Structure formats: structure tokens, C-alpha cells
Amino acid sequence: MKGKLPALFFAAVLIVLVLVFILGNLPRQIAAAPGSELEADFLNVGQGDAIFFKSGNHTMLVDCGEEGKGAYVSNYLMDRGVYRLDYLVITHTDSDHMGGCPEVLRNVLVKNVIMDGQKRITASYIETMALAANSTLTIAKKYDEYYLGVVRMRVLHANTGSSESNQNSIVFMLYDGNFTLLMGADCDLGCETDLLKENIDADVLKVAHHGSKYGSSAEFLQEVSPQLAVIEVGMNSYGHPANETLERLRDAGAEILRTDLNGTVVLETNGTGYALN
């Protein structure tokens, strides 16, 4: 019997180590989300934004990345069998958000295009507007609501007529049951002041303006209190994401994921929590 004890002990240790390895490599979960109703894919498009949402058979793309990234975004959608979008939301007209949209509009059938109403004399703006003529075009207004299946989208900030394009960004909250996701676009401090008047508590924050030091103030993050902060960022000369912004996010208790370091971030929720893949 004594000879069997060491063998049993080592077998038990081996089983524990295997279980630890398996559990450690499962997707990170908070109140695990089986049978997800909403999927959010934060695409790695370098220094720009492109986020794909899917709820049931309903689909939405928010921004398209820089000019030259439209083909990548289009291929990402089509590789997933998505040839039709219910919504294309262009949060504002800067090239790192709108630049890839003409290519997407050429490759994918878009039912509704939602924009901020800013006008620009740029090739991507002119081409986007020409191609959007095949879709229903809406200029977003504060408190507009749209639905992606069971998921509600509520606009919390829209064009204020500012001379700074970032401050006219479309910022909205997504609601899926008890789960909330705040899409910050390129909203900086001026825009954040307006948002502080709203209920902006959210489980997940798409960090504004690629983690710029001019956004994500401590006061703002205290109101949002995100569990997860996703930064869409690539190689750049602007210092994004700023060290002070990362520090404020950490102080707010948020887990931070960055597309430049983590690649495309895929999140799923069933309305009671979320899982990361």
C-alpha cells in the first residue's frame, strides 16, 4: 500500500496541473456568456477605428479605418459570410474613421448609413457620400435610438457644430439586457463634459481617440466605471495611447486591451455578462 501512495499523489498532481492549464486557456469571462445575443469585434486596423457588431441576423459596422483599410474590413466581413449590413455608422469624417468606407460601400450592401453631418472636401468624404446614395442616409441627433435585433443603440452625443471634428463625434451606448457598451469615437474633453450629464455607466468602454491624453479624464472614467477598456490604436506619431490615459484607466479598475498588442478583440454577451475570445 505504501508503494502506491507516491504514485497516487503524483497522478493527482498531474490532474490538477492539467485542469489549471485548461482553465487558464479558456476565454476570460465575467458572468460567462453562453448563447451570445451580441458580438462585438474590435478590428485591428492600425491607427483607426472599425468595430463590427452582430446580433442574431442583424449587423452593424462602426467606422472603417484609414484609407487603404477598407479592403481588409470588407474581407473580414465577407469571410464571416456578411455581405449585407443593417447599419454603417461613421462617427465623424476624419480619415482614420471614414477613409476605408468607400471600399466597404463598394463591396457590401449597406441598408442604412448614419453620419454626423460634418462636410469635408476630401476624396474619402466625396466618394462615401456618392456611394451612400444607394443607402438610407441619416444624420444622427442626440437621443436618437436604433435597434440591432434585441440590442438598443442610443445616441448620447452628436454634431454640436464645433470647428473641431472630434468634438462632433457620434457617441452612443449599446444596451443588451443588463450589459452596456459605451462607444467613445474620438470624443475628447469638450465632448466628455457633455457626456457627464448623461448616465454613462458601462461594462465596456471603447476608449475615445485611440487613448489620447486629451480624453478619458478621471472624472469621466469614474462615471463610466468600465470593467474593460478597449483601445483601437496602431503605430502613430501622436503618442497614442498616452501613458497618463493608461494610468487613469488602471486607476478606474479597468482591464485594458489594445488592438496593437492584442490584435482584433472579440467580445460576446448574452446580456448578463461578457466573454472575450
Query: What is the reported pTM?
Result: 0.88
Binned at pLDDT 50, 70 and 90, residue 7 comes out as low
Q: Which residues of 194-204 are buried (b: 16+ CB within 10 A; e: fewer)?
A: bbeebebebbb
pLDDT computed for residue 25 by the predictor: 46
d(CA 81, CA 78) in angstroms, rounded, equals 5
Q: What pLDDT, on the 0 to 100 scale, is given for residue 3?
A: 52
| Residue 95: its H or E element | helix 95-98
Q: Which of 39, 74, 28, 44 minimizes the C-alpha distance to 263?
A: 44
Q: Looking at the predicted structure, is the pLDDT value of residue 35 above 80?
A: no
Domain ranges within the chain, ordered by starting residue? 36-276
Strand blocks (E) in 101-202: 109-115, 136-139, 145-148, 151-157, 171-176, 179-183
Question: For position 163, what pLDDT does the model report?
Answer: 86
- CATH T-level assignment (fold) for domain 36-276: Metallo-beta-lactamase; Chain A (3.60.15)
Q: What is the pLDDT of residue 190?
A: 86
Residue with cell 474581407: 75
pLDDT recorded at residue 6: 53
3-class secondary structure, 11: helix
pLDDT (average), residues 246-256: 98
Please give the grid coordinates belonging to residue 11.
Answer: 497522478
Instruction: Provide the mean pLDDT of the chain.
Output: 90
CB neighbourhood size of 118 (10 A): 18
User: Tens digit of pLDDT for each residue in 128-173?
Assistant: 999 999 999 999 999 999 999 999 999 999 999 988 899 999 999 9
The predicted-structure confidence for 202-237, as pLDDT tens digits, reads as follows 999 999 999 999 999 999 999 999 999 999 999 999
